[in-house]
Amino acid sequence: MKTNIFVIYGGKSVEHEVSLHSASAIMNAVNKEKYNIYPIYITKEGIWYSLGLLKDDIGDIEQLKKTSSSTIPSSIGDFLTNYLKHDEKNIVFPALHGTNGEDGTIQGLLELLDIPYVGNEVLSSALGMDKVIMKDLFTKENIPQGKYMSLRFHTWKDNSEESLEKIEMTIGYPCFVKPARSGSSVGISRCENKDELKKGLQEAFLYDNKTVIEEEIIGREMQISVVGNDYPKASVVGEFIMERRFMDYNAKYLDGKLIPVIPARLLKNLSDAMRETAIKTFKILNCYGLVRVDYFVTEDNKFYVNEVNTMPGFTKSSMTPALWEKTDGTTYPQLIEKLIELAFERYEQKKSIINGR
């Protein structure tokens, strides 16, 4: 009997559209001889919608969108009652990015439902999503990173001038202002003076009630993918050639302004150190399945961890599958299958844990 794989995508997230592209590529790559594929769309309002058994490849991501007049609780209940095959072998692939998908929320629901799922669990997802907590942990474990500080909305609202002065004294200019729990460069601003800093904070607070402010590091932007459970492995280092200093959402996903170079042009000892650090960050955050670690590398060959992504973009042209193809020849479908195997492996580990006396 085939295994049922439920690919969940969309969601109440600024990365909604990115999720659709990832889901489309994943479902087209899954072995249909081995799996029954069920697309599960979450609208921008948070309503779940099942598209039924997928029989053909997705040609247009518009096929993955549906409208519904249901409510969130009833739509989730409908999925659990009428679509989840309780007497069959199931697995969930959460092709969700950002809020409610990459922050541990959906993972918590799947843990309660006792369903195996691909990727990181509640803790690692939450830690990776919150840039401030993530950076605090990296500080404790001596992971190289740039100067940073955080600012909450209530503090900004109560005394904006004092907040601005503290940022100027601690970080200085130019600096980057980011929502603490968002992705795809949404809500991020590069600030060179006080007026830009004020506008940047106002922009970031539209997407989160906590921001992170970082010093600007002039360097090349590189990435490493880590895949595994107890014995994770790091890919070769990949580099993005950027056509402008700050790559926003449009540059990353719409304009085609990112040019990947794999493997990156690095000294071997530097590349090895970055790969070791990537595995170390994977373990610090208690990751399972996969993670992408983003770096800056300066002209004097120093590297700094920028952030991690616990559910990176997963189209065929995304960095994660491209890195593994260049590392060991793993194809996109093979990588999908590997992640599914790791999910079942981790599920069996957790099932062996005694939860009572």
The residue among 166, 183, 215 that closes a domain is 215
Statement to judge: residues 227 and 346 lie in one domain: yes
Sheet holding 148-152, edge to edge: 148-152, 210-215, 175-179, 189-191
Statement to judge: residues 161 and 262 lie in one domain: no
Q: What is the pLDDT of residues 241-284, one digit of tens each?
A: 865 555 554 555 455 566 789 999 999 999 999 999 999 999 99
pLDDT at 353: 86
The residue among 117, 137, 169 that closes a domain is 117
Please say if the pLDDT value at position 31 is more than 70: yes
Give the number of other Cβ atoms within 10 Å of residue 152's Cβ: 16
Q: How many structural domains comprise the chain?
A: 3
Q: Do the Cβ atoms of 123 and 111 come closer than 8 Å?
A: no
pLDDT at 257: 61
Q: For residue 163, give the CATH number of its domain.
A: 3.30.1490.20
Identify the CA nearest to 19 among candidates 94, 98, 102, 96.
Answer: 96
Please say if the pLDDT value at position 329 is more than 70: yes
- Supply the range of the domain harboring residue 294: 220-351
pLDDT at 182: 78
Q: Do the Cβ atoms of 183 and 98 come closer than 8 Å?
A: yes
Statement to judge: residues 161 and 271 lie in one domain: no
Statement to judge: residues 210 and 227 lie in one domain: no
Q: Do the Cβ atoms of 253 and 14 come closer than 8 Å?
A: no
Query: Is residue 138 in some structural domain?
Result: no
pLDDT at 87: 87
Dihedral, 303, 218, 15, 188 alpha carbons, nearest 10: 130
Statement to judge: residues 319 and 264 lie in one domain: yes
Q: What is the pLDDT of residues 94-151, one digit of tens each?
A: 999 988 899 999 999 999 999 999 999 999 999 999 999 999 999 999 999 999 999 9
Statement to judge: residues 232 and 296 lie in one domain: yes
Q: What is the pLDDT of residues 44-82, one digit of tens each?
A: 999 999 999 999 999 999 999 988 789 999 999 999 999
pLDDT at 244: 54
Statement to judge: residues 97 and 162 lie in one domain: no
Q: For residue 109, give the CATH number of its domain.
A: 3.40.50.20
Average pLDDT, the chain: 92
Token output for 283: 């373990």
Query: Is residue 240 in some structural domain?
Result: yes
Spatial separation of the C-alpha atoms in residues 142 and 139, rounded to whole Å: 5
Q: Do the Cβ atoms of 262 and 239 come closer than 8 Å?
A: yes
Identify the CA nearest to 27 among candidates 93, 82, 110.
Answer: 93
Query: Is residue 111 in some structural domain?
Result: yes
Statement to judge: residues 82 and 151 lie in one domain: no
Query: Is residue 200 in some structural domain?
Result: yes
Q: In the chain, pLDDT over 90 holds for what percent of residues? A: 83
Q: For residue 306, give the CATH number of its domain.
A: 3.30.470.20
Q: How far is CA 146 from CA 143, 194, 215, 307, 333, in A?
A: 10, 20, 6, 11, 36
pLDDT at 227: 98
Spatial separation of the C-alpha atoms in residues 322 and 314, rounded to whole Å: 10
Query: Is residue 339 in some structural domain?
Result: yes
Q: Do the Cβ atoms of 310 and 119 come closer than 8 Å?
A: yes
Statement to judge: residues 238 and 301 lie in one domain: yes
Statement to judge: residues 164 and 192 lie in one domain: yes
Any residues with CB less than 8 A from the CB of 345 and at least 6 apart, and which?
229
Statement to judge: residues 231 and 346 lie in one domain: yes
pLDDT at 67: 84
